[in-house]
Structure 1
Amino acid sequence: MKPLSAMTPQEIAEASARSLWEGDTATQELGMRLEAVGPGTATISMTITAAMSNGHGTCHGGYLFTLADSAFAFACNSRNQHAVAQHCSITYLLPGRIGDRLTAQAVEVSRQGRSGIYDVRITNQDGQHLAEFRGHCRTIKGTHIPEG
């Protein structure tokens, strides 16, 4: 791997994502796929299974939240600084259905000092807008890529 000082912001985002992915068993076990990552952005997808359905026969909201939260995590950790969620909220617009392939796209809205705000839009395979998530993060000690 190149030294950190020789890496582009995109290379830093990709290396940070690889580091974060290695320990993220929740995202992996739910069958999520990291589709893209860049400085302050991330896109993750997941297929809704029968095990993710609720009593109404639609996707349980907790799985939608988890998908959005994972995209948020990869976006806010994309600059080689450990970041954790401080506050998150979600608005559900349409139900997810068993078999739907959902995509969560996270975008950085603001990053000031140790705080960041990210918006995540969840859509299905038909482009329908299912949910909108806003996450606030706070950086903590630690980096994903060694400084040396």
Structure 2
Amino acid sequence: MTPEQRARQVGETMFAVDTASKDTMGMELLACEPGRALMRMAVTPLHLNGHQICHGGFIFTLADSTFAFACNSHNRNTVAAGCSIEFLRPAQAGDVLTCEGLEQTLSGRHGIYDMRVSNQRGEVVAMFRGKSATIQGNVFPEGA
């Protein structure tokens, strides 16, 4: 199995049971490649806060979900060890947010990943940095 095939299988396996991202939030997984993931979410009226802009928690969740797919793409169970987010501009109802996550470094059990959340006009809405920690097991069984 190539690294690309492995990452694609990780994405399919995880997304199939990720009810939070898929069903609750309405996210789409567009790509899962080695050290990279791409997700999309349309901002609906259900995502709006008291200022009638997208609640930051929903933007965070899009970035966090993208982080999960990017850091698990090597088929080693990996979780978040820490993260930070910077909100740069509001997202409105009707906006389509895309988040690209990229592995910056992977050393031993830990990795650093950067997520860029952009709207349909290519404007950066938020930047998220996550630190990953690899734990025991795999997303799906390999080899025999």
What TM-score does the superposition give when structure 2 sets the normalisation length? 0.97
1:23 Cα offset (Å): 2.0
Q: Which residue does 1:26 correspond to in 2?
A: 20
Structure 1 residue 80 corresponds to structure 2 residue 71: no
After TM superposition, list the pairs within 5 Å mapping 1:27-106 onto structure 2: 27-29=21-23, 30-106=25-101
Select which of 4, 9, 12 maps to 2:3.
9
% identical equivalent positions: 48
Aligned counterpart for 1:138 among listed residues 133, 136, 139: 133
- Amino acid across the alignment from 1:12: R
Q: How much does 1:22 deviate?
A: 2.1
SS at match of 1:98: coil
- Alpha-carbon RMSD across the aligned residues, in angstroms, is 0.7
Deviation at 1:145, TM superposition (A): 2.4
Write the distance in 2 (CA, Å) between the matches of 1:58 and 1:47. Answer: 13
In structure 2, runs of 5+ residues without a counterpart are: none
1:50, distance to aligned residue in structure 2 (A)? 0.4
Deviation at 1:117, TM superposition (A): 0.5
SS of the equivalent of 2:41 reads strand
